[in-house]
Structures are given as structure tokens and as C-alpha cells.
Amino acid sequence: MIPRRLENQVAWVTGAGRGFGAAIARGLAQAGAHVCITDVNADELAATADEIDAAVDRSSSTTLALLTDVCDAAAMQESAARIVERWGRVDILVSNAAILPLAPFEAHTPAFWRKMIDVNLTGVYHGVWAVWPHMVRQQHGHCIAIASGASVRGFVDEVAYCTAKHGLEGFTQALALEARPHQIAVNTMGPGRRIKPTSVSRDQEAQQRAAGSADWSDALELAPAFVWLAAQPPDRYTGLRFDAGPIASTLANEGYDFSFAPEKVTLYVQSMQERLARAPMQ
Ligand SMILES: NC(=O)c1ccc[n+]([C@@H]2O[C@H](COP(=O)([O-])OP(=O)(O)OC[C@H]3O[C@@H](n4cnc5c(N)ncnc54)[C@H](O)[C@@H]3O)[C@@H](O)[C@H]2O)c1
């Protein structure tokens, strides 16, 4: 049961057509937020909208589904404008859209490289750029990009993906410094548990689950971690890298008002301690 900690808030989740993004969007809606979901896949986006509809009390949380490519700066700006036109504000941006076609470095081409960086890194910038003036006007906001083990380590066949995910950590740490005076938090959050692999479609996931060949956690179990973070005052935790798995476990064991410790909120405790030492919490 997700507590309604985000009532009257407005969230935007990119790449929400399936997988982690669909689960995060549903969790934010269950917490009472109005949610805009965007994706490039119309059918999967519609499936997410139906899932949210079935799971949420419509009297307090409404949904807007928009076909929007994170690579298209003008379209991202237009979606931000549609959100503000509809609900008057935008409090939470979860930059989740990503692609991960596995490819050895020898198979990389400049076009492949550009596409990977465009979706996985520049796409996040486009979202933050689009919501920034609204969040500055409100003096309130949370920008959360999705992290990965590839944010802090290298993996074979993931050179461009790892580069983009590492880049998001630098983006987050630097932007947090400029965002803090505006009461805007900038963080990343990894799943922290094994979930359905990226680029596996809804149909493929259903087939693999039916065949018993999917040993993945349900991403919905991780959604409360986003509700917890988005409900914090923006100047409390910023410039940090979280993991949803440990947070979900902590919430289940201790409730939403748990006393903070890095090991309760991330798998990468030393890195969080170092960042906190550089920019202490309020
Ligand atoms: N699945 C994992 O094991 C895992 C692990 C670590 C991090 N992540 C991260 O979690 C996030 C979600 O990944 P997932 O595994 O749910 O992937 P997924 O492939 O299931 O979902 C990604 C969604 O993004 C959409 N998308 C792709 N390109 C887009 C674009 N240009 N514009 C808008 N939408 C676009 C896709 O249509 C899809 O709906 C990603 O940031 C990924 O890097 C996933």
C-alpha cells in the first residue's frame, strides 16, 4: 500500500510505456500525484495508461499520455508546456527513457554512438531543460534520472550506455549545486534489484514469464522508493545516487519516516558518503 504523500503534485515520467518507467508512473499516481506519461511507443503507452486507470482513484489523480521522443528538444518543451497548461505546475520529473542494444565496441559506429548518447544522456538534459523554468518559478522540484550499475562500473558490450550513465552522475552532481537555491533537487536512482532487462517489450516479457524463464523482481515493488524521494523537501537530499531496492526494503521495515543512513538508501554507500561530505544535508 503506497501512502498518498504526493497529493496535488504533478509528475512526468519519460519512457513510461513499459518496464521500470510504467511501474514508477503507477506508484506516483497511487501516491496521489497527477502523472504525465510519455514514450515513443503508442501501444505500450496506452497499456500503461490503462494500468494506471485500473489502479488509481480518479478523483484525486489524473493522467496525461503524450507521444514524445526525449531526443526532440522542441517536443519535450511542448510536453512540459502541456503539463503546466493542464495542471498548473510540474513538481517531479523522472527521466527514465533509455535504450540498451548490446554491442561490442568494434560494432559501434558514429551514428550508433550519437543515438545512444542522444537518448540516454541528452534525453535527460532535454527533460530537465524543459521543466527548469517551471520549477524555478515554483521554487520547488525533483529531477530524478535513472541510474544503473553502468553508472559506476564498466560492462562488456555496453561502452556507449556506460558512458551515458556515468555522464548522468556528473550532470546530477553539478546541476544540484545550481538547483539547490531554487529548491530543486537533482538525484539519480537505480533499481538496485534485478528487474526485467531493458529493451524487452511487454509481449516478450509476458512470454518469458509464462515460460517460467523470467526470474525478475516486479518493478512495482520499487515504486515506493520514488514516492519517498519525491516527497522529501528538495534541499534535503540532492546531488546523490540512490537505489530503489534498499529504499523499498527500508520502507517495508521502518516506514516512510525512517531515520536516514546511506546503507538504507543505496548499494553504493561509500560514494554517497563522499558526496554527502562535499555537500552536507540541510
Ligand atoms: N532493466 C534493468 O535491468 C535496468 C537496470 C538498471 C537501470 N535501468 C534503467 O531503467 C530505465 C528503464 O529501463 P527499462 O529496463 O524499464 O527499459 P524498457 O526498455 O523496458 O523501457 C524503456 C522505455 O523507454 C522508451 N523509449 C526508448 N527510447 C525513447 C525515446 N527516444 N523517447 C522516449 N521514450 C523512449 C521505450 O519505448 C520503453 O517504453 C532506463 O533508464 C534504464 O537504463 C534498467
219, pLDDT greater than 70? yes
Q: How many residues does the chain have?
A: 282
Ligand 1 pocket, residue 66 CB under 6 Å: no
Tell me the per-residue pLDDT of 104-162, one tens digit each, with 9 for 90 and over.
999 999 999 999 999 999 999 999 999 999 999 999 999 999 999 999 999 999 999 99
- Residue 279 pLDDT: 79
154-158 own/partner pairs: CB under 8 Å, 24+ apart: 156/104, 157/102, 157/103, 157/104, 158/100, 158/102
Domains of the chain in sequence order:
10-278 (3.40.50.720)
Query: Which one-letter DSSP state was computed for residue 260?
Result: P
Using the mean position of ligand 1's atoms as its centre, give its distance from the Cα of residue 17 in Å: 9
**What distance in Å separates the CA atoms of residue 117 and residue 199, rounded to the nearest whole number?**
16
Mutate to test the pocket of ligand 1, among 94, 96, 155 (most ligand atoms within 8 A of CB): 96
Q: Structure pTM? A: 0.98
Using the mean position of ligand 1's atoms as its centre, give its distance from the Cα of residue 20 in Å: 7
Classified as helix, coil or strand, 154 is: coil
CA-wise closest residue to 62 among 45, 84, 87, 85: 87
All three cell numbers of 97, joined, read: 527513457
180, pLDDT greater than 70? yes
Using the mean position of ligand 1's atoms as its centre, give its distance from the Cα of residue 98 in Å: 4
Helices (H) and strands (E) in the chain, counts: 10, 7
Using the mean position of ligand 1's atoms as its centre, give its distance from the Cα of residue 14 in Å: 9
Torsions phi, psi for 40 (to 5 deg): -100, -5
Q: For the chain, what percent of residues have pLDDT higher than 70?
A: 100
Q: Tell the residue nearest (CA) to atom 14 of ligand 1.
A: 198
Mean pLDDT of 42-52: 97
Q: In ligand 1, which atom is closest to the CA atom of 96?
A: 41
Q: Tell the residue nearest (CA) to atom 44 of ligand 1.
A: 198
Whole-number mean pLDDT of the chain? 96
Ligand 1 pocket, residue 139 CB under 6 Å: no
Please report, for residues 54, 77, 127, the alpha-carbon distance to residue 2 in angstroms, rounded to integers and kept in the order given.
Answer: 15, 31, 26
| Burial of 78: CB neighbours in 10 Å, binned 0-12, 13-18, 19+ | middle
Does 125 qualify as catalytic in the annotation?
no
Q: In ligand 1, which atom is closest to the CA atom of 97?
A: 24
246, pLDDT greater than 90? yes
**What distance in Å separates the CA atoms of residue 37 and residue 62, rounded to the nearest whole number?**
11
Q: For the chain, what percent of residues have pLDDT higher than 90?
A: 94
Using the mean position of ligand 1's atoms as its centre, give its distance from the Cα of residue 219 in Å: 12
CA-wise closest residue to 9 among 31, 27, 26: 31
Q: In ligand 1, which atom is closest to the CA atom of 19?
A: 16
213, pLDDT greater than 90? no
Residue of 161, 237, 256, 268 with catalytic role: 161
**Do strands 184-190 and 141-146 pair parallel, antiparallel, or not at all (unpaired)?**
parallel
All three cell numbers of 137, joined, read: 518559478
282, pLDDT greater than 70? no
221, pLDDT greater than 70? yes
> Quick check: 242 and 189 in contact, CB under 8 A?
yes
Ligand 1 pocket, residue 275 CB under 6 Å: no
Ligand 1 pocket, residue 40 CB under 6 Å: yes
Sign of CA dihedral 10, 18, 220, 171: negative
**What distance in Å separates the CA atoms of residue 235 and residue 139, rounded to the nearest whole number?**
11
Q: In ligand 1, which atom is closest to the CA atom of 18?
A: 39
